[in-house]
A = this chain, B = another copy of it.
Amino acid sequence: MQKYGGSSVADPERIRRVAERVVTSAGRGGPVCVVVSAMGDTTDELIRLASQVSPGAHPRERDMLLTAGEQISIALLAMAIADLGREAVSFTGSQAGIVTDTAHGRARIVELRADRVRDALAAGKVAIVAGFQGVSTALDVTTLGRGGSDTTAVALAAALGAGACEIYTDVDGVFTADPRIVPDARKLAALSYEEMLELAAAGARVLVLRSVEYARRSGVPIHVRSSFTDADGTWVRGEDVLEQAIVSGVAHDTGEAKATILGVPDRPGIAGRVFRPLADAGISVDLIVQNVSAAGRTDISFTLPRDSLAQAEPILAELAASVGADGYACDRDVAKVSLVGAGMRSDPGVAVEMFEALAEAGINIEIISTSSIRVSCVVRAGEAERAVQVIHDRFRLGEGG
């Protein structure tokens, strides 16, 4: 199973290059199934077109519109492969049997009826499947949400019993930190599903959460690699087969904002009352901290995607009033820096060392949140890059695994 993202098939020249790579794989024997995203900016262009036609949401029709993008790329890739002398056949999500629920725009796969793909592979053909899309139980065209093509590839790999799912992208793999910020960031040879999940949640853009979750549940190893070179990338797989490093990498997320509800009466059940309306509005809240204060009142702070802020503010205002809080405050000028590593479980000193590194660099920590394999700190946005650098240095992440 191979998956190529939009940048790998952005123009005719790149499509032909992917075709060559696919044909080379096919030449090694064994079935080859390829999942493709829409070409380059096609999806964004279609979204822009929709916004020019209609101010409305129209999730069903939006999915009908966007799925045209992959239909174009699968057809072109199948043509290019056939030109190289390999039989290839393209399948829409619906034809590939990617059956989803009816949640347009963020549908979940409920079943795979991949018989047509299986038959094509059995007949020695290369199967090209449209990523990101499926058909709902109501027989409508659906999309799987951001990064959905990765999910398609992993789900198909699982259904077809493929040994691994190769995700071809425009980067070389998963790095110990963003190489644009940390020049000696190092490509990781392997990490566990759990670490990848934490890195993705912490802002690493290589793979989306959902595809990693799917891979973990189905036990499909993922190989993230560059579509421009033949070099090995990064394997994401079960922990049992990995030798654990204490710390795998540093991720940062500059797309977050901080909200604080000030002077909340400190009563049982208050957190539920605060977060229920945000959840109902579909706003995903991250790091939550509650600072207990002396006077029976408390400040509740949390992070949320910055582009949800406009939607969240009126909810926060109403909320502050209804729970008898003193008010609320929003801060767009924050960033989240996270350290991830499965080895942290057995080494409680990691978090402390991270705090010290930041303190020595004079970087103030505003919120701390930890999981068993991750420590996240919210800092001023302007200090995020420096924070990543000092943490990367402190744990000598550039020095080889």
- Chain A positions near chain B (C-beta within 8 angstroms): 12, 15-16, 46, 49-50, 52-56, 58, 60-62, 64-65, 67-69, 71-72, 74-76, 78-80, 82-83, 88-90, 92, 95, 116, 139, 141
Contact = CB atoms under 8 A, between A and B. Distances in A.
17 contacts: A16-B53, A49-B72, A50-B79, A53-B76, A53-B79, A54-B79, A54-B82, A56-B83, A58-B79, A62-B79, A64-B74, A65-B76, A68-B68, A68-B72, A68-B75, A92-B141, A95-B139
Contacts of A75: 50, 61-62, 64-65, 68
B71 A54 contact: no
A52 to B, nearest CB: 4
A50 B95 CA distance: 22
Nearest to A62: B75
A6 to B, nearest CB: 15
Secondary structure of the A contact surface, majority rule: helix
A245 B89 CA distance: 53
Question: Counting chain B CB atoms within 10 Å of each CB, which of A54, A71, A78, A139 scores highest?
Answer: A54
Contacts of A64: 71, 74-75, 78, 90, 92
Contacts of A139: 95, 116
B79 A61 contact: yes
Contacts of A54: 76, 79-80, 82-83
Given A46-B72, A54-B76, A68-B71, 7 more contacts: A54-B82, A61-B75, A62-B75, A64-B71, A64-B90, A68-B69, A95-B139
A288 B352 CA distance: 93
Contacts of A72: 46, 49, 65, 68
A52 B90 CA distance: 18
Nearest to A58: B79
Nearest to A42: B68
Nearest to A128: B61
B90 A53 contact: no
A140 to B, nearest CB: 8
B76 A56 contact: no
A49 B61 CA distance: 25
Given A60-B89, A64-B90, A71-B68, A55 B76 contact: no
Nearest to A135: B95
A393 B76 CA distance: 51
A272 B76 CA distance: 41
A83 B50 CA distance: 12
